[in-house]
Amino acid sequence: MTEILPQPSLMFSLGAFILMIAVLVVVHEGGHFLAGRFFNTKIDAFAFGFGRELLGHTDRRGVRWRLNLLPLGGYVKFTGDLNEASQVDPSLLKLPHAERDKLFAFKPLWQRAIIVAAGPAINFAFAILILAGFYVTLGHPTTPPVVSAVMPESAAASAGLQAGDRILSIDGESVSRFEDVINIVMSGTGKPLQLVVSRDAGSERNLVIQPQMVETTDRFGNVIKHPRLGIARGQQIVEQVGPITALGHGVVDTGNIIVTIGRTLRQVVMGERNLDDLGGPIRSGQVTGQQAAMGVTSFIAFMAFFSVNLGFINLLPIPTLDGGHLLLYAVEAVRRRPLGERFQQWAFMSGFAAIMTLMVVLTWNDLSSVGVFKQLSGVLG
């Protein structure tokens, strides 16, 4: 039986979450900053956090480095930006051509797109480097996608899956490792799965398996409901790899995380998965504290996963996010001129309202999941 570990304290989880956010914000905004510098774009400020400035320093290039009051986010402010839409101050139109060329709003469209995309891109690169570092140091773990045992009366047994079967694909998605099988099944919603397996010297069989929905308890006592086939994996192999191979594995694994996030988001949008399954800031902080309590390695690995999440979310085509900027740039490229100022302001205000609404819903779900409402009902009752 797995030993149940005590939940980390609130202060420990909060500290771990702020540390992780601090690192990832610097990484993400650093992507925008470095890309802006590469294209000789003038920058006013690089800030960690929002609200009132607590500490600050202005470097020789005129960039104000700020540590602000609320340590949940950050931003790079390019010179001349009036708002999050990067609309230019009309008074700057009177500047000499040489000075205007250094302002973000006057940069060629393709340069603005690269500067905006650099934030999410560096989040993905950061995750790849972390994973590659693990693989070079600890080796790359992999398990052949071969069924070593089938649990009696399980979903796999009912479907006719046998020990020794090699799983080739699930729902048309090719499988090269048993870890891929776990990822696809665990991120599913319990719907029937189409499996192609190799049996008896290479003969292929098509099987339909209806996963069983089960509840398991993790090391911290959290109850998790998920699909299960009822099969066991074989012996895991840890392969020692060099830096180039490790980077390749990092790219593949980061790509798999992106696919899983996209699959989960699609399931929510299509109504196949409950919105309650998505975590907000409170649940994210709780999980961060749990991973940190398990050790530095677990914490850094979770940071890599969260970095991919941050990059993916920022690429969603929602105004105020990087993906929203890129969407407007795509429209600008087609129209050969930017959208009107009023439309852009409306779009960004709508995007901000949508994000805030989602955050309220997710925070409400978080409060419910950690038992706050149950405790309040007990006190008030």
| 88 vs 342: CA distance, rounded Å | 14
Classify 79 as helix, strand or coil: coil
Catalytic residue among 3, 29, 204, 272: 29
C-beta of residue 127 within 8 angstroms of C-beta of residue 304 = yes
| 218 vs 180: CA distance, rounded Å | 20
Which phi and psi (to 5°) does residue 380 adopt?
A: -75, -25
C-alpha triplet 85, 89, 92: angle, nearest 5°: 135
Q: What single-letter amino acid sits at 323?
A: G
- Would you tell me how many other CB atoms lie within 10 Å of the CB of residue 368? 12
**Containing H/E element for 228?**
strand 223-228
C-beta of residue 227 within 8 angstroms of C-beta of residue 190 = yes
N-term to C-term CA, the chain = 37
Q: Where are the domains of the chain?
A: 10-42+79-138+300-380, 141-239
Quick one: pLDDT at residue 319?
Answer: 80
The residue to which tokens 């048309």 are assigned: 172
3-state helix, strand, coil in the chain (%, to 5): 50, 20, 30
- Report the interhelical angle of 341-369 vs 281-293 (nearest 10°): 60
Residue 53 a catalytic site member: no
Classify 75 as helix, strand or coil: strand
pLDDT in tens, the chain (381 residues): 456 767 888 899 889 998 999 899 999 999 999 999 999 999 999 998 888 899 999 999 999 999 998 877 888 998 877 655 555 666 666 777 777 788 888 899 999 999 999 999 999 999 999 999 999 999 999 999 999 999 998 999 999 999 999 999 999 889 989 999 988 898 888 889 999 999 887 788 899 999 998 877 777 777 778 889 999 988 889 999 999 999 999 999 999 999 988 888 888 777 777 766 677 777 888 888 888 998 999 999 999 999 999 999 999 888 888 998 899 899 889 988 877 777 777 777 777 677 777 777 666 665 655 544 344 444 444
Quick one: pLDDT at residue 117?
Answer: 96
Residue 167 makes CB contacts below 8 A (sequence gap 6+) with: 145, 146, 147, 175, 178, 181, 195, 196, 197
CATH class assigned to 141-239 = mainly beta
